[in-house]
Structure 1
Amino acid sequence: MADSLDAYVSAWAEHTKLRGADADSKLQAVLAMMAEDIEYTDTPSGHTFKGHDAVGHAFKHAISEVLDLTVKPIVWYTDGKRFTIEYETTIKSEGKELVAPTVAVGTIGPDGKITSHSDYYDRRALGL
């Protein structure tokens, strides 16, 4: 399970780069690691998205709203059923770089796919 979490963390870091010719392949790479009925929650905003279509739309919308968004994974852990990822979320806007420590927690199904993912961060630190 640790190998599949490593792959998920790598795809998660790439999903913020949904621009250009390979945007769809990056989105599909992260969605492929999620169960069809994935539940993604952006906890600070209070929004939850269920299923590949809703999560994919949410990711595309978020990236279109924030022109320069990156996530930098720092450390992650899984026991095979649950995971935790610590990373930095960075938004560059109007010549400023805003950084927020972020934690993601979630669950992993028996097939190794992510069944839930919830992000926790300080929206104010990102100017949101």
Structure 2
Amino acid sequence: MTTTEIANRLCELCAQGNFEGAQKELYADDAVSIEAHATPDFQQETKGLEGIIEKGRKWGSMVEEYHGMKVSQPLVGENSFAVTMFMDVTMKGQGRMGMTELCVYNVKDGKVVSEQFFM
């Protein structure tokens, strides 16, 4: 797949809330995920597809209810792309909140090899 095809497919799956499906379909086995900063619940850097999937499952377990998800059109370069994602969620024990992230992805050999999130 080209970078544009990967970007469009990732946006399609994420807009549906199918993050794990996007990861399994589009990510390299040795992909890296980098958060804006470490938290008590999450390390700043997660290595490997299985670790990334587990991180996503942990995040999902912390969500009480999803109210909405919006994903921008991708801005695509030769081997990278960026999107914004807005999530409207109620977190367990924390209430409802809206979160917007800038998400930057790097692609190599037809797979996402890294993702990085900025708040």
TM-score, length-normalised on structure 2? 0.77
- Whose helix proportion is higher, 1 or 2? 1
Aligned to 1:7: 9
Q: CA deviation at 1:75?
A: 2.7
Q: Does the CA-based 8 Å contact 1:12-1:30 persist in structure 2?
A: no
* Match of residue 45, structure 2, among 12, 35, 48: 48
Matched, 1:105 2:104: yes
Q: Does the CA-based 8 Å contact 2:35-2:116 persist in structure 1?
A: yes
1:67 alignment partner, SS class: strand
2:72 alignment partner, SS class: strand
Determine the C-alpha separation between the residues in 1 that align with 2:113 and 2:9: 15
1:99 alignment partner, SS class: strand
* Match of residue 39, structure 1, among 29, 32, 49: 32
Cα-to-partner distance string for 1:25-77 (whole Å, 9 max, x where unaligned): xx244222001110011223352111111011111011001222454102311
The higher-RCO structure (CA 8 Å, 6+ apart) is 2
Q: RMSD across aligned C-alpha pairs, in angstroms?
A: 2.3
Q: Does the CA-based 8 Å contact 1:75-1:87 persist in structure 2?
A: no
Q: How many residues were matched structurally?
A: 110
* 5+ residue gaps, structure 2: none
* 5+ residue gaps, structure 1: 17-26, 122-128
TM-score, length-normalised on structure 1? 0.73
**Structure 1 residue runs of 4 or more that deviate by more than 6 Å after TM superposition:** none
Determine the C-alpha separation between the residues in 2 that align with 1:98 and 1:8: 24
Determine the C-alpha separation between the residues in 2 that align with 1:68 and 1:44: 24
